[in-house]
Structure 1
Amino acid sequence: MKTNLITREGFEALQQELTFLWKQERPEVTKKVSWAASLGDRSENADYQYNKKRLREIDRRVRYLQKRLDQLRIVDYSSQQDGQVFFGAWVEIENEQEEKLTFRIVGPDEIYGRNDYISIDSPMARALLKKSVDDEAVVKTPTGEAVWFINQIRYQ
């Protein structure tokens, strides 16, 4: 089950994607489908088949985004969060082997295409929530437990 939280930046990015798909890409692909259909036999027309498939993909994504945007709740930064790990925080952590990781805790809709974002639903994020700098977080992994120490927390 996905958490319905999202940062303001993430929400705006999803809205921009929806607008782009609906107002720019879909009309272009629809024109290509119409043009390809006008050429006659559609069964062997690669332009028609490819663009028809792309149109279905766009429509599926538009439907998903419309539904999902209605379900999401934007979480803005609050000064009460300072000093502890909460949604939207940038966190730098380190383990006993001195490996360091830096990432932002965001909603599951925001992590795709980003190496520096993790979902609030991930085991790492769950282990870090409400912790402070110099606290230790025990993360349950498939290979056992991993211990991480919090070096830094920032929200901007």
Structure 2
Amino acid sequence: MATLLITRQGWEKLQAEHLHLWRRERPETTKIVAWAASLGDRSENADYQYNKKRLREIDRRVRYLQGQFEKLKIVDYHPAQEGKVYFGAWVSLINDEDQTLTFRIVGPDEIFHQPDYVSIDAPIARACLAKTVGDLIKVNLPGEASAAWEITRIEYRQNTEQ
């Protein structure tokens, strides 16, 4: 079983999602399905069909999260990381055309709905690892092209609202 990395904030979000689905959303949806089923003909009952589908989606997500919890390893910030890019860092880059890019390096389960989060598995994140401010990184683009960026800032934010 492969170990996947996750930040403490990411772990807490996944735990909260799991609890919400299991303790709140699933029981409510189950009640609606039972009520709609009691009305009779299920083939033309939109409440039954929609909520039965939603129940399957909830169960699938809960099973996925439970499986992930066994594989995930929380990586907390350590002061020795300061000055270099490691997991959990916010990184700012600039290229020759003065385009800037800022992102946080996180685990693959944390990037969804977070436009400024990049998976540790992404080529740009891999290129930044263990680098310092002022270092140049080269990222291979699709095809034969590549892009060069300079690291302008590395930051480790300690609050949970990152």
Using the TM superposition, give the Cα deviation of residue 111 of structure 1 relative to its aligned residue in structure 2, in angstroms: 0.3
Instruction: Structure 1: state its 5+ residue gaps.
Output: none
* 1:28 aligned partner: 28
What CA RMSD, in Å, does the superposition of the two structures yield over aligned residues?
A: 1.0
Using the TM superposition, give the Cα deviation of residue 60 of structure 1 relative to its aligned residue in structure 2, in angstroms: 0.2
* 1:147 aligned partner: 148
* 2:127 aligned partner: 127
* 1:17 aligned partner: 17
Distance in 2 (alpha carbons) for counterparts of 1:142 and 1:132: 26
Aligned residue pairs total: 155
* 1:95 aligned partner: 95
SS of 2:103 mapped into structure 1: strand
* 1:108 aligned partner: 108
Distance in 1 (alpha carbons) for counterparts of 2:3 and 2:63: 19
TM-score by length of 1: 0.97
TM-score by length of 2: 0.94
1:41-94 CA-partner distances (Å, limit 9, x unpaired): 001111100000000000000000001011100000011111110000000100
* 2:160 aligned partner: none
SS of 2:18 mapped into structure 1: helix
8 A contact 2:3–2:73 mirrored in 1:
no
Pairs within 5 Å for 1:36-75: 36-75=36-75
Q: Report the residue type matching 1:18 in the other structure.
A: H
Moved over 4 A (4+): none
Distance in 2 (alpha carbons) for counterparts of 1:51 and 1:154: 44
Distance in 2 (alpha carbons) for counterparts of 1:69 and 1:11: 8
Distance in 2 (alpha carbons) for counterparts of 1:113 and 1:16: 16
Q: Report the residue type matching 1:80 in the other structure.
A: A
8 A contact 2:105–2:125 mirrored in 1:
yes
SS of 1:40 mapped into structure 2: coil
8 A contact 2:85–2:129 mirrored in 1:
yes
Using the TM superposition, give the Cα deviation of residue 3 of structure 1 relative to its aligned residue in structure 2, in angstroms: 6.2
Distance in 1 (alpha carbons) for counterparts of 2:83 and 2:30: 51
Instruction: Structure 2: state its 5+ residue gaps.
Output: 158-162
